[in-house]
Amino acid sequence: MASSSYMPRRKTGEDLSNWSEQPQELTFSIMLRLDAFEILENAQKVCSAWRRVSKNPLLWRKIDIRSRRTVDSYYFGRMCRQAVDRSEGGLVEIKIGNFGGDSLVSYIADRSTNLRSLRLEYYYPITINGNEVYYPFSGLVNALAKLPLLEELEVSLTWTSKLNLKAIGHSCPKLKILKLNGSGSNSIRQRHDDDDAFEIAQSMPELRQLQLIGNKLTDAGLTAILDNCPHLEHLDLRKCLNIKFSGDLEKRCLESVKEFIPPKDSTAGCPFHGVLSNTDSEEEESEGDDDLVDSSEEESEGDDDLADNDDDLVDSSEEESEDDDCSIDSDE
């Protein structure tokens, strides 16, 4: 009989049976490569055996859950809570993006006292009171007070109010990595503000990595950080445009920090590069305004020169008038 490469199509039930007969170790290994959304929305629905594996607490020690535009933030909040519950207190690392607020962070902190890493991108702790909307950070600060083992904290692109970094530093004495990017304002070209830098210097002596992209600190704030964070190995100050490196400050950065990224380096490669690059046009416009000011000052100086010339003409005419008077006197 001639051989054939034709394979009969399996029935749905047989397909499911094969999936369910797959070794649990292999299923677990597959799920480790998926993010929380993929597990909860797809993988756990393959069959009952896969659903049992998806509930293994070891699968939820690290959670990466970032919102898709096709799903609303409320749905992602529920999904995140479900993922945290499945960790059964074993959660050590979580990354949240494009959704979340103080209530969600408090939920995580209450159930994850062993948390080592908390990363929040595009975080908006919104509180609605009547017709006004506030953006407080008290809920986040209170939640962090429950996480004494925290070693890494990222709060990026909040564009809202300021964090109480001093309180956070005292609550999380083991903090080694802090990323506070684009926080506090939607415009990099702002007044000088060293509050963040001074609070970091006062309360976070164990820092190894510090990323302050778009911060408004000055040379004074940078000096305080270098003086009080002796273990610092990585310092990222991109878009920190108020730093002027007076004296030997730049030399100190290069000599005391293993990896130093200066203010004018590109933000290409950052997950929020597109947002930060918009500030470049603001910087150029601001510089253009400065040029206009300089131009107007030059014009003003030119006007002063013209005024001086007019004064010279007036003085000259007065001298001529005096000469005329003299000639009249001589005639007399």
Does residue 32 or residue 87 have the better pLDDT? 87
When the candidates are 3.30.1540.10, 3.80.10.10, 3.30.70.150, 3.90.1010.10, the CATH number that belongs to 62-290 is 3.80.10.10
Segments making up each domain of the chain, as ranges: 62-290
Contacts of 255 (CB under 8 A, 6+ apart): none
- Type of residue at 115: L
Measure the CA–CA gap between 145 and 113, rounded to whole angstroms. Answer: 10
Report the mean per-residue pLDDT for the chain.
Answer: 77
Q: 73-87 and 102-111 are packed helices; what angle lies between their axes, rounded to 10 degrees?
A: 10
Which tens digit of pLDDT belongs to each residue from 201-222?
999 999 999 999 999 999 999 9
Which pLDDT value is given to residue 65? 86
Which tens digit of pLDDT belongs to each residue from 88-120?
999 999 998 877 778 889 999 999 999 999 998
Measure the CA–CA gap between 290 and 238, rounded to whole angstroms. Answer: 22
* 3-state SS string for 134-150: ECCCHHHHHHHCCCCCC
Which pLDDT value is given to residue 319? 47
Structure tokens at 182: 């684009």
Measure the CA–CA gap between 224 and 240, rounded to whole angstroms. Answer: 15
